[in-house]
Amino acid sequence: MQKDLIRHLRDPNLIPPEKQTLLSSIAGQAAAMNMPCYLVGGFVRDILLGKSVNDLDIIVEGDAIQFGESLVKKYGGKLTPHTKFRTAIWHLAPDTLDLITARNETYINPGALPTIKPSTIGDDLLRRDFTINAMAVRVDGEHFGELLDPLNGQADLEKKIIRVLHPRSFMDDPTRIFRAVRYEQRYGFILEHSTLRLINSECFAILNTLSGQRIRHEIDLIFTEENSLKILLRLSDLGVFNRFDPNMPKVNEKYLVLQNSIPPAEFAISVDRVLLGYLLWLLDSPVEVVNALSKRLDFKSELSKAALAMVQLKNDLISRKDFKPSAWTIHLEKIPLAAIYALWLITNEPALKEFIVRWRHVKTKSTGDDLKAHGLPPGPRFGEILSQLRSAWLDGKVHSFEDELRLLETLIR
């Protein structure tokens, strides 16, 4: 296994060559400073699974800021130190790298953020969420490739199980419930049975005391995953959403499966994956629920605006059915494109597609200068006339520049 690990660490298909160079620089410098240095967490998990990795999580037994400063001296770049936690970010274009001082954490109150003290790698692994994330590979000098696995994470990877490190884990930090299910569904693993039993009403009660921002962050991470639908379904089955807030939207499979669809080329739009995930999840919710969730989960304003506009538009879609293209366009221009796209995915309403593909691009040929040339003094009439000309194009009343000029003259008169 040790040999496999070293082979994987040198495999350009798993770690791109530029990251390998970065890693040797770090390893060399750590050896020169006699500072034990490790890759940890998701990196080790994924490399053992033979998956490609991009993020290097570096931990040193020693002062990560001092280590970072020596790296800058030798290899250049810039360091952003965080003195409180003795961590640093090393910016070496095009990369940024987190350098962390090995630490231990104590949870004084369940659900509260932990108290942190510099410590050993052994303690650092003990503060982690699951056994499969609690492994480290040493990289400095002759220690290169040594695996530290005090909690038998490798065996759990082989058994394909997600296991917490101790029975209070979900009480200390109930966001780990979301993380557990995310890994379970991502890798096709299963929650180990005593870990599963720990997801109970006691930790749900603590989950309810967490800030909206912490929970929303976990939901954001779910929507970045290809398997977001399965993750949400599993969390629903475990009662997580319902216990958190009975008004949480139900997970509609038919909607959420569309998160992985790519807008047709003729739409000429790109929609953020996470934003689309939320919109499809909220699509059937009443306006009041969207408002309440937006507050509770501390939605960013882009999401809040799009979700609200989408459910309002959905509610009056039928009453707008016979609207002319110009009326649709004037209305839809006030709504974020992602919201219109999400609603189109579900309803197939032709007007929404027409708006995205054609109507929003329709412009008049005349400009303010043309209006001035026709002797019209600048003022509010300018905007009104240009908007009437555009509506005429949208509604098929003009088809050419000559038609537009004729209409312009009539309007001015």
Give whichever of 133 and 329 is closer to ligand ATP, judged by the CB atom.
133
Binding segment toward ligand ATP, per CB under 6 A, in 19-27, 125-133, 255-263, 278-286: 125-133
Told to check if 42 binds ligand ATP by CB under 6 A, we report yes
Shortest spacing between CB 210 and ligand ATP, in angstroms: 11
Give whichever of 20 and 175 is closer to ligand ATP, judged by the CB atom.
175
Give whichever of 226 and 395 is closer to ligand ATP, judged by the CB atom.
226
Give whichever of 57 and 220 is closer to ligand ATP, judged by the CB atom.
57
Binding segment toward ligand ATP, per CB under 6 A, in 31-39, 127-135, 249-257, 319-327: 127-135
CA distances from 122 to 51, 164, 183 (A): 25, 16, 23
Give whichever of 32 and 113 is closer to ligand ATP, judged by the CB atom.
113
Q: What is the CA radius of gyration of the chain?
A: 28
Binding segment toward ligand ATP, per CB under 6 A, in 128-136, 308-316, 337-345, 382-390: 128-136
Residues 6+ apart with CB under 8 A from 98: 57, 58, 87, 88, 89
Residues in 48-67 at the binding interface with ligand ATP, rule: CB under 6 A: 55, 57
Shortest spacing between CB 296 and ligand ATP, in angstroms: 20
Give whichever of 24 and 54 is closer to ligand ATP, judged by the CB atom.
54
Give whichever of 14 and 313 is closer to ligand ATP, judged by the CB atom.
14
Strands 136-138 and 103-106: unpaired
Give whichever of 176 and 314 is closer to ligand ATP, judged by the CB atom.
176
Residues in 129-188 at the binding interface with ligand ATP, rule: CB under 6 A: 129, 133, 173, 175-176
Shortest spacing between CB 219 and ligand ATP, in angstroms: 14
Told to check if 104 binds ligand ATP by CB under 6 A, we report no
Give whichever of 173 and 349 is closer to ligand ATP, judged by the CB atom.
173
Told to check if 128 binds ligand ATP by CB under 6 A, we report yes
Told to check if 364 binds ligand ATP by CB under 6 A, we report no
- # residues near ligand ATP by CB under 6 A: 10
Site string for ligand ATP, 22-41 (x = CB under 6 A): -------------------x
Shortest spacing between CB 135 and ligand ATP, in angstroms: 9
Give the CB-nearest residue to ligand ATP. 42
Shortest spacing between CB 216 and ligand ATP, in angstroms: 14
Q: Which residues bind ligand ATP (CB under 6 A)?
A: 41-42, 55, 57, 128-129, 133, 173, 175-176
